[in-house]
Structure 1
Amino acid sequence: MTFSAVIVAAGASLRAGPGEPKPWRDLGGRPVLAWSARAFSAAGARRLAVVTTADRMEAARTLLAGLPGLVVVEGGALRSLSVRAGLAALDGPPDEPVLVHDAARPFLEPAVIARVLAALKGADGAIAALPVPDSLKRGDGQIAGSVDREGLWRAQTPQAFPRGALLAAFQAWSGPEPTDEAAVMEAAGARIALIPGDPRLFKLTWPEDFAMAESLARPAREVRMGQGIDAHRWGPGDGVWLCGVRIPHDGALIGHSDADAGLHALTDALLGAMGEGDIGQHFPPSDPRWKGEPSATFLAHAGALLAARGGRILSLDLTLVCERPKVAPHREAMRQAVGGILGIDVSRVSIKATTTEGMGYTGRQEGLLAQAVAAVELPAA
């Protein structure tokens, strides 16, 4: 079914507290208005009339550039005048459904649009609504009586009607400012269906509503784990790099870069948590560019990849397996170095050390082993 939509975004937002009008406040990284406009476009709206104030018209065109069928219209001092301006800007046959929606209800889902349109087949109009779940009281500072909530509904938007019928109902309206389009159509004798709305379609009205909306706007997140293992052979030298800290020693770890096994293991753990392969894919040992390179470069690269995907590090846990050197005297410096490379608090970095009691290649002091586990949070796939 083809349809058009009118989004009303011309109100003064007086109850929302100081700041921009509600349609222009940031929500999840984009203005509130963009949420419902893009929802209607994704649902296949043939025409989309956005009604806003004269000083915001160009901003609306810029924000919504590229949406098919977009027309930006100047609104009026009252909501009813803004809706009428939006309806007048639409073309098409008079019986085409038009969905009128508040810009201040950003969390519009395709299923609600589909339900409202489907309900028009058996009625003169349809609105999204929710039954009242709370006890209702009448009073002013104290209870003067109770109200039976049976059969009471909380009206939401979108509200859908044939465009011609809604325009005619507005022209015939002679009462005070209507609360919504359904009231106008009721007065014209229309049969209006109530279809299940969505609790997330609450209207941004008060300052505290924006904090709740921001929590809903955040994308779903998931925790992922990755592990990294690295080992290097001991060779001649007078110091060793471990977790970004140089420790004086009677030997050095042999490797193409600075052979910092701790940072290598942490890098692989982060890459593994993201499904981004391993350190060798990103920094091939056959590439002379990385000869002698500080391993902080590799770990910082993994951290930057995570940040670019909207992720964050929850915790890093590294175990160094060696007989010598002693790690404990340098543990805090190592944690600080790792935290600095990745820009995270040191409380998220754990570094431990153990020995194999003289067993195996680490026990024979032929090499050092590093094992790391990373827990990260990423937007859900």
Structure 2
Amino acid sequence: MLTVLRTTWPLLLGILLLLVGNGMQGTLLGIRGGIEGFSTFQMSIVMSGYFVGFLFGSQMTPIMIRRVGHVRVFAALGSLISAILILYAAIPDWLAWTLMRIIMGFCFSGVYITAESWLNASSTNETRGQALSAYMIAQMVGIITAQILINVDDPAGYMLFVIPSVLVSLAFTPILLSVAPAPAFAAVKRLNFRKLYEVSPLGVVGMFLMGGVFSALFGMASVWGTRAGLTVPQISVFVGAIYVGGLVAQYPIGWASDRMDRRKIIFAVSVVGALAMFAAFVFSPGFFMLSVLGAIAGGVANPLYSLLIAYTNDYLDKDDMAAASGGLLFVNGVGAMISPPITGWLMEMVGTDGFFLFLALNFGMGAAYALYRMLRYPNRVGQFPGAYAVISPSASALAVDKALRAADGDQRE
């Protein structure tokens, strides 16, 4: 691990600072939107903009990198991110925010793809698994740190928009001044969606539903907190609990999934998520219990994302994994893009706790479909499935493919 850190620390430090900036703006907008008087539905449109841009960026970034190279793409997207973080406070209009969120999603998608291809090229087969693990840890630490920084100033002012802008600007300094050469970029082809569904219906349906879960948890949580009357520290604790839960639960669930039918794990954790969110919807618990339930939701959602990718790849040859991952991430992006308006509509129809109802329905549908697949079709994987890898929802198809291959290599040793 020390060797990995010695060679990749500029990239990892840059990613950590970038995620602090991204984590701050995601939570901050939900709080500031309430201060500006935006409706729940308007904020849901604003939040969905990020996922629209992210999906579009995943298609365009490979073309941009091949045309002008990693360094120029990195610098251009970073400049846009830094500028938009300031403009949020300068233009408090929900339509302008929606446009800026689309651009922000596009830019972060490009940054992630560029960084991950760079990280992959700078790692050897022996160190790639450790490098990707360090990358995922840097992302989580950055987002959790962001929730702490939300409390350093008044969200009605400018300072909380200035801080992430500065951090994003600083994030590119160690990366662009690194002596490591920029790698050649290899685009990842996608598997035909019909073929992908034939390979793993559960993988495709599950990833679509997880797109809805992630867009709610990581896009609408602060909107819910503001509407529910939580203070800024409480909102930051609640959002931080979601990420901490995801970080803690990944490894034990992954360990179990490598030793039994993954569909049973997918069903079990989906049921846990559905019950936790249904309890939050029905009983309206106090803040401490809400934070615990938020941690459970994060502890279910993050491993489910990795589980569904690993389960799909159990039925594929290694050469098809990258293409399948690209298809699954696209399906996930579509789910994330259309879900915030549905969440906002539910919150207006049944009250703020419609946020938890939406999550419960998504987890519940995932559990029901997993159960149907288990009862209707036998397990085709056999005794030795492929390896589970810890994967971030922001990871590109290239990073997903390399993480799975590295995990499979570790499992065989």
Which of the pair has more CA radius of gyration? 1
Q: Quick one: higher RCO (CA 8 Å, sep 6+), 1 or 2? A: 2
Which is strand-richer, 1 or 2? 1
In the superposition, the TM-score normalised over structure 1's length comes to 0.20
In the superposition, the TM-score normalised over structure 2's length comes to 0.18
